Amino acid sequence: MPNLDDLIDRMTLEEQVSLLSGEDFWSLPAIERLSIGKLRVTDGPNGARGGGSLIGGVKSAAFPVGIAIGATWNPALVAEIGAALADEVKSKGAHVLLGPTINIQRTVTNGRNFECYSEDPVLTAELASGYVKGLQQKGISAVAKHFAGNESEIARTSNSSVIDERSLREVYLLPFERAVKDAGLWGIMTAYNKVNGTFASEHEWLITEVLRGDWGFDGVVMSDWFGSHSTVETVNAGLDLEMPGPTRDRGEKLVEAVKAGKVLPETIRERVRAILMVMERTGALGSCEPFAERADDRPEHRALIRKAGAEAAVLLKNEDALPLSGKETIAIIGPNAKTAQIMGGGSAQLNPHYRVSPYDGFAAALGEENLTYAEGCTNFRFQPLLKTPLEVSYFDNDALSGEPVFTTTEDEAELIWIGNVAEGKVAPDHFSARLVGDYIPRETATHQVGLVSAGLSRLYVNGELVADAWTNWTRGRTYFEEGCDEVVGNVDLVAGEPAEIVVEYATRPSSALGLSAIRVGISVPLGEEAIEEAAAIAAKTDVALVFAGRSGEWDTEGSDLESIALPGRQDALVAAVARANPKTIVVLQTGGPVEMPWIDDVAGLLSAWYPGQEAGNAIADVLLGKAEPGGRLAQTFPAKWSDNPAHSQDPRVYPGKDGEVEYREGVFIGYRHYDRHGIEPLFPFGFGLSYTTFRLGEPVVEAENFDAEATATVSLTVENTGNRRGSTVVQLYVCPRDSGGQRPQKELKAFAKVVLAPGESGTVRLALSPRDFAHFDAEAKGWRIAAGDYDIKIGESSDRVQTIATLTKATDGGLMPL
């Protein structure tokens, strides 16, 4: 290992400062004089996108999203995924993966809910540690995000999350703490938002006192993209790296701040040392390999994604409907049947090697001749993307004037511009563009044309202005809150007759992220007859499979949901199909809970999330019994949105008011909230059915010296009493008695996933440490175990637990180390 301090000594101040901000969007500058290579990063966390835009680019493997990983309750599997992702990162010529996302699922409407693991901090922490270990054991740095308090996408770049210290320590910081202490995390990304009034990127208490001081973190702390807002404040607070480049707040500004005595040279050395440490750990420090990206479609990664997708699937209802024998006549119905919903939207999206839809999965397993299909209804948020050749002309002004300086061709009508635009021939924040192409309608009908833009835009069809997002452009909930909401116009078109599409675009000032974008969609609306057709098809088959849910248009970074009802007419579709066929099975693909007014009328329900590029194969494997539905809910499904802990009549609680979001529920989030208020959820935390049955044996609790040591071990035998191989999750909750309502009725503290063959038994051992009984004493600034009784409860979901022991702490313990 090179002596990093000697290397820093050899640098000029300017060279040191150069390493504290990106050179471009995805890399740091090299210092060739000292043989210091480039450190390159890539977006994650459910794949490695590489250096391309949010759309297109080099193809990559798409793994299951965060909430799907959460549903596996399997840290070992997550470590396996982390190791595979390390290979993906290397194929993109990078050293750092921007993941995992380990914010807590505070609400059921968070647009980024899909990217997070769980509503529970301990489950999130265990899975995060597995991910980090798997990734970093192969020399790729993880970057846990977003530190901290980013539990909503509404005004996330300006809002302040108001969170008391106890809730921070016990809930929102715990996964980051465990990733540092248990997994040796090398990287942290600060959140966009403020925490208690201070931007996370310049929050000295969070970065220096807690992260580095209390937890001993020695890795790199980087800003989210464009999430750094100052020079002196961020550097002195502990932020090592400003991203992306070129720099906005560092460079010469930081050099001058050092010369003026506003930032100490020793502080610069500390920040540089953190960068060099990660470079050394990942092999980037002395690397001079030329940058290259590959689309490696690895068979072993295909198999892992398929396996993980099945293990993430949660069977929520089964009235002797599943597994299917494969001999039934099957109707494949719904908006997600022939569309492979494999991932959420935003910075986590990538260009997958392929997408397997549920229809494709069943066709491969049973033969397409054995299936019937009906779409039934749509569930898109935006009009379906216009896919036709388009000539795109760029102008180096915002008025579409003069001759274009660059012309190219695109295959579809969505363009996202970040950084380099038109091969550098226009300024990224000051240009205009004209898109011209033909659309050939398939039917004679009134078409709906949708236009969305981060910037000004207008759309003409055959010379007629159809959609205007220019004249009265208003910021909405698209493109990370940089774009307008969709403007939809109608136009009558004739089948087979080409219609000329002309779109004009011009930049406008960005609020925070330096992003420009445009999207055009077109469709013919489906009517009532589509639902009637689906019901008629369902009535003629043995089984009706309805593939419903959302997509990455709804579950996306930069936009929270407005409700958790299924979009469009999907509820009506499910109800109609269920009336037509009593053996109706619904397969949900969403990034979180949904309301289900039809739940009593269907025979089966599977939550499949967004399981990656093998989606249809994994879903077919589970429904046909080739794989066990291995998932258990990592987030409670409420009966209705208003039951959620963050739902309030006061907008300060959610979505925020006057620049603040108050976490008034404190530590009572998720199942803790439902327990406290006696609210029965639709499906509880930890719940999931198997294709087999299990019996939990009599637990043995070892805690002879509990009063002095506050440790315990629980052992029990689990037996598969059914006739199929299957899995269950043994969950242990600690339940403090007589806490005066100041502590949750129960808190998950340990769990174990058990996979057993028919008739097989296995032994589970769950260890409890002093921290598992402690609460954070905000006044004393430390962890404390209060005197009293602690019930230990065991079960297979949060609502089905039984007390197996009561442990007594006779004396109030002193403060524990942070």
Catalytic site positions: 224
For residue 304, the cross-strand partners are: none
Q: Give 54's DSSP letter.
A: S
Q: Give 815's DSSP letter.
A: P
Residue 727 DSSP SS3: strand
Return the residue matching tokens 């004396």. Answer: 811
280 exposure class (CB count in 10 Å sphere: 0-12, 13-18, 19+): middle
Residues 6+ apart with CB under 8 A from 720: 692, 693, 694, 726, 756, 757, 758, 759, 760, 761
In b/e form, how buried is each residue of 67-95, taking b as 16+ CB within 10 angstroms?
A: bbbbbbbbbebbbbbbbbbbbbbbbbbbb
Return the residue matching tokens 């009506």. Answer: 572
Asked if 68 and 308 count as a contact pair (C-beta separation under 8 A), the reply is: yes
What is the C-alpha separation between 189 and 242, in angstroms, rounded?
10
What is the C-alpha separation between 416 and 480, in angstroms, rounded?
12
Count the neighbouring beta carbons within 10 Å of the beta carbon of residue 395. Answer: 22
Residue 67 identity: I
Backbone angles phi and psi of 586, in degrees to 5:
-100, 130
What is the C-alpha separation between 519 and 502, in angstroms, rounded?
12
Q: Give 370's DSSP letter.
A: G
CA-wise closest residue to 220 among 203, 207, 204: 207
Could you tell me the CA-to-CA distances from 480 to 97, 207, 317, 509, 557 in Å, in that order? 21, 25, 36, 14, 6
Label each residue of 198-221 as H, E or C.
Answer: EEHHHCHHHHHHHHHHHCCCCCEE
Judging by DSSP bridges, how do beta strands 712-720 and 660-662 pair with one another? Answer: unpaired
What is the C-alpha separation between 541 and 559, in angstroms, rounded?
39
- Helix axes of 528-539 and 570-580: crossing angle, nearest 10 degrees: 30
Residue 243 DSSP SS3: coil
For residue 160, the cross-strand partners are: 194, 660
Residues 6+ apart with CB under 8 A from 403: none
Token code pair at residue 326: 């494969």
What is the C-alpha separation between 176 and 169, in angstroms, rounded?
10
Asked if 8 and 276 count as a contact pair (C-beta separation under 8 A), the reply is: yes
The string of DSSP codes covering 425-451 is TSBTTB-EEEEEEEE--SSSEEEEEEE
Could you tell me the CA-to-CA distances from 619 to 142, 424, 598, 683, 695 in Å, in that order? 29, 44, 21, 20, 27
**Residue 232: half-sphere exposure toward Cβ, Cα within 13 Å:** 9
Could you tell me the CA-to-CA distances from 142 to 29, 188, 288, 349, 457 in Å, in that order? 20, 8, 22, 18, 39
How far is residue 161 CA from its own chain's centroid? 19
Token code pair at residue 404: 């274009």
